[in-house]
Chains A and B, each alone.
Chain A
Amino acid sequence: MAIKDVFLEGVKAGWKVHNASLFTKDQRLEADVVIVGSGAGGATSAEILAAAGLKVLVIEEGPLRTSSDFKMQEATAYAELYQEGMARMSKDGGISIMQGRAVGGSTLINWTSSFRTPAETLKHWADQHEVSGLSEETLKPWFERIEKRLGIEPWPIAANANNEVIKKACQALGYDWAVIPRNVRDCLSLGFCGMGCPANAKQSMLVTCLPASLQKGSQLIYLARAERLTFKQGKVAELECLALDARGVETTGKRITLKAKHYILAGGAINTPAILLRSQAPDPYKLCGKRTFLHPVNFSAAQFAEQVNPFYGAPQSIYSDHFQWQAGAAGAMGYKLEVPPLHPAFAATILGGKGEQNAQRMAKLPNTHMMLALMRDGFHPASASGKVELRSDGSPVLDYQMTDFTWQAMRRAYLSMAEIQFAAGAEKVFPVHNQADYMTSLAETRRVIDGLDLAIHRARLGSAHVMGGCAMSNNPKLGVTNSRGVHHQIENLSIHDGSLFPTSVGANPQLSIYALAALFADQLASGFEA
């Protein structure tokens, strides 16, 4: 079955798509709207603004990779499609941070779970962060529109064994669980969403909003990094970009200078605040880059007698929110329970252990179940949070500090995960921590979990959801943008990506980003007509 490479066909048909690594001289270009980043927020905005008749130019630092390039190989996917070649981590190295970096952004390599922003979260933003106009009712039509656009529906097919564990155990224990809605069409259930979907089944930005926007005449320049904005009379005057080599690593020395009526930053959390910091954008209350959140994740591994084959099948199809809102939005930290797909290289880095121990754990990969708990950070003052800083070369790094309050939630989560894995019939459970190993009873596991020294580099932690750092709020003392995503101090500058969130979302963030970007782009487009 030959799979149609939608994007390459469009390029052949004459879309304005340019590879900046090939530029032999500096460029100057103009547009109505310049958008930085071709991921969830950027591409969604590009489609709407182009449909409104505006001249849109999208700039993307990552490479262009399309379905014919996706060979389901960890060896190349992580290096080529992830920020910093998959080596992004918090400043002290305690948390691995996964974000995409390619045309399509993180949507190219995400796991397709699509949740609406929880009502509790929207209420918390309105009550505590002076956000207005983003109630459940206002957002409902936007969620519906995106769900239709991206084929988002609860996964109709049986969950793979890795996901089935949550369902089976939660049914037995009387815990809440539900089926995950996914943004896919004609999904082959391969399980390689994290390496780029070879079937163009995942409705990532590469096959949806970007093509629609290019079809309307938008331009896309990739392998070009937005370096800094320049300002004149309180407005953005220009955006300076640097062309990158074919790997997207080193600059080539060629510059691209862009001029527009309006600028949208959608480089994703960490990178968007970094552009503002490099540009020394006005920031009277020193908010930019602060309150960056990660949904930091801890893991629990289990071995089953029967095969789980955690590397095949739709990666995420069942979740449990049983522990998410138990103490209310702002009480003891809640967490969402899901599973990750588990391919060998990824598994080897998570399972850890010394020489032989790692080899033995890996030898049982087909029988291994992995679970993760996503901490809902940012709702309580004692929650862990991060701050974006610039390294000497201007690249960003996140200083994320764990807190006791957050560790306490992780300790509870280790226990919830072990309980669920044993309830589903696991023979052995391993709370993923340097001081623990596989254990055969829940009682023993609980005792070990109670005694774990919870510290970075001991507990293995990761994140695939970076949020905040340019929060919205009507109050300029609390947020970088207003509740329409427009920068408080710079009127021709908007932010349309995950960095807008005042706290973490409390659910996998992509649908929240699509909906906000769509709403804000629509508001922007009507402003242009006026």
Chain B
Amino acid sequence: MPKMTYQLTRRGFLKLGLASGAALSFMTVTLGVTSLVNNQTASGFSYLRSQDIAMLNALLPVIYTATVTNNSAEQTTQISASLIAIDYNLAHLSPSMRKLTLQLFDLITNPVTRGPLTGIWGAWSTASPETIQHFLNRWEASRWTLLNQGQAAILQLARLAYYSQPQSWQLCGYPGPPNLG
């Protein structure tokens, strides 16, 4: 098993990806077995782990471009509110949908798979907005429906979390629910 893990070069992934639709979850299982994945949840969260938070801290501002403010203090508040909302949503997913989502996070945070799959070769915290946008575009345009699905899932989670927060409503002209008194 460990040998398998380290064979996951770019070409190895291509082969796997084309060979089997189950490739993504298969690889994650392999990674899980070799305990490369940290499953410890981050403090204050029920499901998100520190590597997920590092990834989301880099990814969310790119997804929210033109909506988050340039004011860094405000931006931090908005991103942390979204992290809390994502964690809350994860807590309410069915166990199997949650598992799939966390497996997706594993794939894009794990140092072994992150580079070949996302084109982000260093840590998420050092990735430029351009590389991150490139990763999202690449997954969206990919011929592998698994990557399309992964990209859609990430955007879905991020946007549901963001636009369900009252802080975002002024950006979309939504006055909020009426007051029933």
Contacts and interface: CB of A to CB of B under 8 A. Distances in A.
Contacts of A190: 177-178
Nearest to A394: B96
B173 A365 contact: yes
Nearest to A357: B66
Sorted from nearest, which 7 A-B pairs have the closest CB atoms? A72-B177, A355-B65, A85-B92, A457-B148, A93-B149, A79-B92, A75-B164
A417 to B, nearest CB: 22
B163 interface: yes
Interface residues of B, number: 44
B98 to A, nearest CB: 8
B26 interface: no
Majority-rule SS of B interface residues:
helix
A359 interface: yes
Interface residues of A, number: 53
A173 interface: no
B160 A360 contact: no
A283 interface: no
B180 A355 contact: no
Interface string B138-170: 001000010011001101100110111100110
Interface string A78-98: 111001111110001110000
B156 A349 contact: yes
Contacts, number: 135
A344 B169 contact: yes
A2 to B, nearest CB: 8
17 contacts: A72-B178, A74-B163, A79-B91, A87-B89, A93-B149, A93-B152, A93-B153, A192-B177, A348-B160, A348-B172, A349-B159, A359-B64, A363-B172, A365-B173, A366-B173, A395-B94, A395-B96
Interface in A325-376: 343-345, 347-349, 352, 354-356, 358-360, 362-366
Interface string A43-76: 0000000000000000000000000000111110
Contacts of A87: 89, 93-94, 97, 101
Interface of A: 1, 3, 71-75, 78-80, 83-88, 92-94, 190, 192, 198-199, 247, 249-250, 311-312, 343-345, 347-349, 352, 354-356, 358-360, 362-366, 391, 393, 395, 397, 434, 456-457
Interface string B78-97: 00000001001101111111
